[in-house]
Structure 1
């Protein structure tokens, strides 16, 4: 750990919190946090999500596998890359391969983690991993969850860039994953 990081961490006192809401996808905790330097204290809320994965899946023809699905938050259909939650006891790489197969029916020959971010460190402590799966092929029908209605799409890298420029792809974590992929290619 960086010396400055340790000094900052030691200047804050975080008390145990209490669960204020528990759902299948998030637990919200509330607890007091005190700044030792100023003496100020305030109740903070922590949205405790499981870790997530986003999958950049590339066919042998260099097509990117995208999905279109309804998102309750925006109340509209969104174009994204496959992704989902990491199950308890599951590693992010396995979760990425599982989610890709479940949502699209695609699987690949090689998979690796190419990035990790903290979605919102102000109120969350989970991570979102980007998994790159190459040489993917359609091997099965999707096995969608009860409330999933996903359309699978294949786009060239140039077309994906255009979808980003026009705002058709505007999901922050998806954009981040595509940036990891773009950086990897150089």
Structure 2
């Protein structure tokens, strides 16, 4: 048993939507006191770092309603029930960019906001891209513009907060770190 573990005494579902579920748990803290925890349940997602033959990153720009603004992001999407993350990554890459990857490598997984959510993102890097003649259609309610961005511009966009979400910032930092390490080999 973890010395910081919080024992769930009671759990109440508040909302059950198509993407998230919200519940409130009454928990007993390690010191014996009681507290409430608001928890967002999420099926998980993937993020894909697609790299073109000339070393550019394929990104999508889309409006994010919770923020009331557009962001520049790596392609990403929610896992469907029972779907393996690599399958989701291939599907989302094609839907959002119109490209298929001949090589898709898993990089890592990370929690997006563990203070209140169990969402985990599985991150992949996609290379040897080829344009798909008739790509899978994107989501009916999703409108995106496709951009090719070099690493230097992506870093500038992070500074300017045009790239402002965790998965895309992580992707840019990963590519910068990889570039530095490759130069020292």
TM-score scaled by structure 1? 0.89
Q: Which 4+ residue blocks in structure 1 deviate beyond 2 angstroms?
A: 5-9, 177-186
Task: Please state if 1:122 is matched with 2:115.
Answer: yes
Which whole-Å CA distance do the structure 1 matches of 2:85 and 2:144 have between them?
A: 22
Residue correspondences, number: 179
Task: Please state if 1:78 is matched with 2:71.
Answer: yes
Post-superposition shift, 1:16? 4.3
Structure 1 residues 141-150 or 51-60, which shifts more? 141-150
Tell me if structure 1 keeps the 8 A contact 2:51–2:57. yes
Post-superposition shift, 1:182? 3.3
Which one of the candidate residues 5, 8, 17 is aligned to 2:4? Answer: 8
TM alignment of 1:1-186, pairs within 5 A:
6-9=2-5, 12-36=6-30, 38-140=31-133, 141=135, 143-185=137-179, 186=181
Structure 1 residues 176-185 or 77-86, which shifts more? 176-185
Secondary structure of the 2:90 match is: helix
Q: 1:58 to 1:94 in 2, by over 3 A?
A: same
Tell me if structure 2 keeps the 8 A contact 1:33–1:41. yes
The alignment yields a C-alpha RMSD, in angstroms, of: 1.7
Secondary structure of the 2:2 match is: helix
Which whole-Å CA distance do the structure 2 matches of 1:72 and 1:61 have between them?
A: 33
